[in-house]
Structure 1
Amino acid sequence: MSAAAPDTTTTAPLILSDRINAMQESQTIAMAKKARALAAEGVDVISLSFGEPDFQTPQYIKDAAKQALDDGYTFYTPVPGYLELRQAICDKFERDNQLSYKPENIVVSTGAKQALANAVLSLVNPGDEVVVFAPYWVSYEEMVRLAEGISVPLLGAMENNFKVTAAQLEAAITPRTKLLMYSSPCNPTGAVFNRDELAAIAEVLLRHPHVYVLADEIYEYINFVGEHVSLAQFDAIKDRVITVNGFSKGYAMTGWRVGYLAAQREIAAACEKIQSQITSGTCSIAQRASIAALEGGRASADEMVAAYRRRRDMVLELAADIPGFRTNVPSGAFYLFPDVSGYFGRSTPAGETISSAADLAMYLLNEAHVAAVDGAAFGAPDCIRFSTAAADDKLREAFVRIKDALAKLK
């Protein structure tokens, strides 16, 4: 009997692109994965890591989706979105923001995240500088990195509700600055820029006509201070402002994945071109549901905002009872973003040293079974983000656990 032939197969080395090796995984998603893994082991984890409303999508929006199925909306959609949806978005801008757009200025995408990425890739060349107001949403810097741009983070002071000033922006702009990115209401701080603050920023931009702006307004409806102001309302710079919004937060439609941007025609066309080669048009059923959402107004959003305001006030009271937490008062969104640097250098019961917010977040996950996201992911390494988009009883229990776990640090 002859001997078996030797196995001569080889495995090629896996050589990933520099682009993907340089990119970080979204820290909010990474922490959610860890929380789910613990929960799968039977641990009672309270997850305050994800920015997801705990409300159901309003029934009239669900009904519109069912009707769309019955009406046969099961085919490919136009790359920038159905004309009816783009017109409804234009009507929304006119009604809510006093901004006049045509459907050609609107691109509907698979979530606001894709709209942001489309805009960054459409504008940023390798080596271009992108000023990013910090604390910022975790994906901004990674999108800039993907476009081979250079992020220039500007950190707002907690004493100013984490808001970057016009003077800070003026000092940061160089001839290589191509884009400014910011959110209002802000994820993670809940800061909301008022009209005077945005007017001052617009004055700076007037002096630097080579700088475009990407304004993330996904939390527009979750606002506790009243007026929402869009930077595009300042006519002199309107053509340089790309406004991004969507349905996930205001309409509790996170899983539907529909976002959009409004921009001058050339930028909108560039975003459409990118989208045509990556995903094409957004889901037909979700788009029909989104038309119904806009036509239904914002009554359902206002009901959710009342709950978010109550939860914010409750969590601020609970956090005030925790030594070492220092926080602002969020004006919108649904997060608490305390400075926790007072705990750095302390030791856990197991003798491990808390050296950073990341260490503290992991300690809270393992000891208190509460998932949160460390502030380094948002450009503020002394802070931790807690989502308040959870049921009242879960929030109360979470902060009891957090207080008890922190009291064990020496």
Structure 2
Amino acid sequence: MDISRRIARSRPLATTAMHGRVDAMKARGEDVIDFSIAISHFQAPPAVLDAVRAGLELPSLPYTAVGGDAGIRARLAAKVVNENRIPATPAEILVTNGCKQALYQALYVMADPGDAVIIFKPHWPAYVATCKLLELEPVLVDLPAEITEALLDNLPPARILIINNPHNPTGAVLSDVELDRIAAWLKRTGTLAIVDESYEKLIFDGVHASLAARPDWQDIGIVTLFSASQSYAMMGWRAGFAVAPAHVVAAMETLQGPITAAAPMLMQLAMAAAFESGDAHIMLADYRQRRDLVLDLVHGLPWLTMQRPASGPYLWADISRLTMETVNFSERLLADCAVAVMPGDALGVPGHIRIGYISDGVATLRRGVQAIIGYGNALYRANRSAA
């Protein structure tokens, strides 16, 4: 049977495809270190587990309204008001099965086929893939060290600007000045914005602020996406929500209804408990130590440059001096060293690799990074000998 034109020209996400390959290798009994994706070695917070236990004792776990249980939406609205300074009401909250669903629905209801969507690169691969599924036109722009008025004024016309703050994979955190510049540009041009704040709790340096933390966010047209996956070590829970103007939430509900209807009530209870549990200080301290360990291990390598990220579960490394295509580097590293990394090509920037450093134990992290260093050193020496 033939499949549709839309899906026939699409490809699986490189990130999930690599992780799937590693899982298959592990299922065959192979000893593989997986840095291709960030999966926390922490358990979900105790408050989440308590909420699940209490939920299982309820007389029933009913279907809820498509956009989420009224009480859950009120709790999430209180979170974004108090923590993110976004003046939102429960009618402006939509609970989804993870951030990807919220992204898809936001793009679906905010743009029509052929509309342009500006995406800074390196980028989370789902941004581009979702645009292509919806027949939108992704416009890729290099992520600068600072978002200036001149940069914004030179952007091409577009229906939507996607902002990832904190940023995956570089770990950059936008300043208040940059956010003000973006908001002014959105108002001046009439461009809408989708802001992914999935890593809001994983801040090592600086302070995270929301673009929508302004009284006119609804008029500007800002949709903000939140996820419990990384901030609360809840990757497999598929727990996320969106904050959007009420009419956009209503449109997203119209789309969500026939696809998934409401997210599971048990997950809604767990997510609300997560976002009410505060910052995960122990987890963040552990991540900081791991980040610094890797930076110490790779310091001084002549073929690798790695900046200290201000946030997030990833490290972004420039290996272009090896003069090898990074897809080829990643494939050979996996085959020869049983270490999986994500080639920068999947995130729009060849010559780089992304390392998820929060999985497994510290000994495994050290062993995997040392394997990358040894492999890169051998290539670098071979290149110098050939020259």
TM-score range, shorter chain: over 0.9
Which residue matches 2:187? Answer: 206
Q: Distance in 2 between matches of 1:24 and 1:156?
A: 25
1:365 aligns with 2:345: no
| Distance of 1:43 and 1:212 partners within structure 2 | 47
Distance 2:342 2:143 in 1: 19
Q: Check if 1:382 corresponds to 2:351.
A: yes
Query: Equivalent residue of 1:223, what SS?
Result: coil
Q: Match for residue 221 of structure 1?
A: 201
Where 1:229 maps in the other structure, the secondary structure is coil
Instruction: Indicate if the aligned counterparts of 1:85 and 1:291 stay in contact, CA closer than 8 A.
Output: yes
Cα deviation, 1:309-329, whole Å, max 9, x if unaligned, reads 111111111122433111222
Partner Cα separation in structure 2 for residue 267 and residue 40 of structure 1:
43
One-letter code aligned to 2:155: A
Deviations 1:335-358 (A, max 9, x none): 1111111112xxxxxxxxx4x111
* Greater displacement, 288-297 / 259-268: 288-297
CA contact (8 A) 2:87 2:214 kept: no
Could you list the runs of 5+ residues in structure 1 that have no partner in the other structure? 1-13, 345-353
Q: Deviations over 1:80-120 (max 9, x none)?
A: 01111111111111111112111110000000110111101
Aligned residues: 378
Question: Are the equivalent residues in 2 in contact too, given 1:48–1:371 (CA < 8 A)?
Answer: yes
CA deviation string 1:239-269 (max 9, x = no partner): 3110000211111111111100001111111
Counterparts of residues 58-207 of structure 1 (less than 5 Å): 58-157=45-144, 160=145, 164-174=147-157, 177-207=158-188
| 2:216 paired with 1:246 | no
Q: AA paired with 2:302?
A: P
1:15: which partner in 2? 2
1:293 aligned residue: 274
Which whole-Å deviations, capped at 9, do the CAs of 1:198-236 have from their partners, x for residues lacking one?
A: 112222222102x10000000000011232111112334
213, 220, 228: which one pairs with 1:233?
Answer: 213
Q: Which moved more, 1:74-83 or 1:331-340?
A: 74-83
- Flag the 1:41–1:321 CA change in 2: closer, same or farther, 3 A: farther
Which runs of at least 4 in structure 1 moved beyond 3 Å after TM superposition? Answer: 163-166, 234-239
Instruction: Specify the code of the residue in structure 2 equivalent to 1:185.
Output: P
Q: Which shows bigger deviation, 332-341 or 225-234?
A: 225-234
CA distance in 2: counterparts of 1:378 and 1:24, whole angstroms: 14
Q: Deviations over 1:146-183 (max 9, x none)?
A: 111100011124xx2xx554432321232xx1101121
1:273 corresponds to which of 234, 254, 271: 254
In structure 2, distance between residues paired with 1:309 and 1:170:
36
Partner of 1:5: none
**Which residue is equivalent to 1:305?**
284
The reply to whether residue 51 of structure 1 matches residue 38 of structure 2 is yes
Structure 2-normalised TM-score? 0.94
Of 360, 371, 377 in structure 2, the residue corresponding to residue 401 of structure 1 is 371
* Residue type at the aligned position of 2:105: N
In the alignment, the residues of structure 2 paired with residue 128 and residue 22 of structure 1 have an alpha-carbon distance, to the nearest angstrom, of 19
Partner of 1:283: 264
- Partner of 1:407: helix, strand, or coil? helix
Which protein has the larger Cα radius of gyration, Structure 1 or Structure 2?
Answer: 1
Paired residues of 1:84 and 1:291 also in contact (CA < 8 A): no
C-alpha contact 2:45 2:277 (8 A) present in aligned 1: no
Mark the CA change 1:170 to 1:313 in structure 2 (over 3 Å): closer, same or farther: same
- Per the alignment, residue 385 of structure 2 pairs with none
Secondary structure class of the residue paired with 1:107: strand
Provide the rounded CA distance (Å) in 2 between the counterparts of 1:106 and 1:237: 14
- Partners of 1:295 and 1:73 lie apart in 2 by 23
Identity %: 34
Using a 3 Å threshold, how does the CA distance of structure 1 residues 197 and 374 change in structure 2: closer, same or farther? Answer: same
Conserved 8 A contact 1:130-1:152: yes
The answer as to whether partners of 1:221 and 1:302 remain within 8 angstroms in 2 is: no
| 8 Å Cα contact 1:136-1:379 kept in structure 2 | yes
**Paired letter, 1:290:** M
In structure 2, relative to structure 1, the CA distance for the partners of 1:407 and 1:42 (3 Å cut) is: farther
Instruction: Give the letter aligned to residue 53 of structure 1.
Output: S
Q: Distance in 1 between matches of 2:60 and 2:42?
A: 26
CA-based RMSD of the aligned residues comes to: 1.5
CA distance in 2, matches of 1:92, 1:191: 23
Change in Cα spacing, 1:135 to 1:61, as seen in structure 2 (3 Å) is same
Q: Aligned pair in 2 of structure 1 residues 322, 21: CA closer, same or farther (>3 Å)?
A: farther
Q: Which secondary structure does the structure 1 equivalent of 2:318 belong to?
A: coil
